[in-house]
Amino acid sequence: MATNSPLNLDFVRSQFPGLNRGWTLFDNAGGSQILQGALDRINTFLIEKNVQIGGSYEVSQAAASALYEARTAAMHLVNARRPEEIVFGNSTTALLQNLARAMHSQFSPGDEIIVTVADHESNIGPWDRLQERGVVLKVWPLNKESMALELSDLAPLMSERTKLVCVTHCSNLLGSINPIREIADFVHERGARICVDAVAYAPHRAVDVQAFDVDYYVFSLYKTYGPHYALMYGKHDLLLELDPLYHYFYGKDKVPGKLEPGNPNYELAYSTCGIVDYLVALGEQAGETGTVRQRIEAAYGAITAQENALADRLLGYLRSRNDCQIVGQAQNRESSRVPTIAFRFDGREAGEICRAMDEEKIAIRFGDFHSRRLAEYLGLTDNGGMLRVSMVHYNTIEEVDRMTAALDRILATEAGLAKAS
């Protein structure tokens, strides 16, 4: 392991049992490995508390307490004001579809929703479908020169009829972090609300919904070291306004239960406690002894430093090749991007390179990563789309070097075969 890491990587990697299978896992934006602590919480619930909440008996009361503990852990994770601002669901996609359904009564024909071309489809499709109800959809374009979302391009799209702006906190293709507080202030000053997809951000940086002043904020636990599950934060007063998605006797004031039809998956929700336990431990190792929230923030400080080193190593390699196009920022200036890095090699089929990496037991991905509108907008859909290496803090510099050495071999072999033919 790298000796200059801000993290104790031996400890970190020991917490993820899936890292012991002989693979170098660089497809973390598709799904990170799960923490042992999250698995332990799932098993504890299923063995000790696996009954329906709402009963008078002791085990049911314990199940209800576990669910409340999960919401409280999630509250600390995102710095919400209260546990009731946390809504659990199957995935970010499902939660955003549910949110769109729960907002139906808030929209009238002619009302406007703005989405960005740079988002994952999860934060476009649900709003796009509201056009069937007469809602007008507008698209905030990406500036192709800066490869950023510019407020100067958002301003002319907004009007008195704009009700909602939907934006990603971090592109799962570009890897760049958007200034969410600045965008939220801009949107709120014009009387609209903001909905943020944070799937590509939450594994890498501390989430602070109060500091961001977001109205709705959604991300997946299975990309943030937990199981295949997700959570949504919503400001409490706004959750009260949403239409119930559950039984008719779940009134508007039954928050968050009215937004969790069929109830949340208790054991998967409970795994959130294991994620927070791990982050608290990392924060303590970094020297923080304050509140749970302060320890979480310290953990992400160490995570960011480790991930910056990984990103710098890979970006440096890619910049050194004259046959490589990095999609997005080619340098990580002032931690402005996460280590989710998409790129292409001139004239090379992305799928062929990816499958050759499979033989090396190095897991990367190719395609458009469900950011298809952005890939099409940038003209990057030919030759199988893009390669993407998505790293997190448990990855190592040695793994990056192993991968780049494998890329060198694969590209040299393909070049030799092409020359021979």
The pLDDT value given to residue 1: 38
Contact 275, 37 (CB under 8 A): yes
The pLDDT value given to residue 307: 98
Residues of the chain with pLDDT under 70: 1-5, 414-421
The pLDDT value given to residue 413: 84
The pLDDT value given to residue 6: 82
The pLDDT value given to residue 123: 97
% of the chain at pLDDT higher than 70:
97
pLDDT tens for 1-51 read 334 568 999 999 999 999 999 999 999 999 999 999 999 999 999 999 999
The pLDDT value given to residue 415: 58
pLDDT tens for 378-421 read 999 999 999 999 999 999 999 999 999 999 999 998 555 555 45
The pair of structure tokens assigned to 223 is 């990309």
3-state secondary structure string across the chain: CCCCCCCCHHHHHHCCHHHHCCCEECECCCCCCCCHHHHHHHHHHHHHCCCCCCCCCHHHHHHHHHHHHHHHHHHHHHCCCCHHHEEEECCHHHHHHHHHHHCHHHCCCCCEEEEECCCCHHHCHHHHHHHHHCCEEEEECCECCCCECCHHHHHHHCCCCEEEEEEECECCCCCEECCHHHHHHHHHHCCCEEEEECCCCCCCCCCCHHHHCCCEEEEEHHHCCCCCCEEEEECHHHHHHCCCCCCCCCCCCCCCHHHCCCCCCHHHHHHHHHHHHHHHHHHHHCCCCCCHHHHHHHHHHHHHHHHHHHHHHHHHHHHHCCCEEEECCCCCHHHCECCEEEEEECCCCHHHHHHHHHHCCEECEEECCCCHHHHHHCCCCCCCCEEEEECCCCCCHHHHHHHHHHHHHHHHHHHHHHHHC
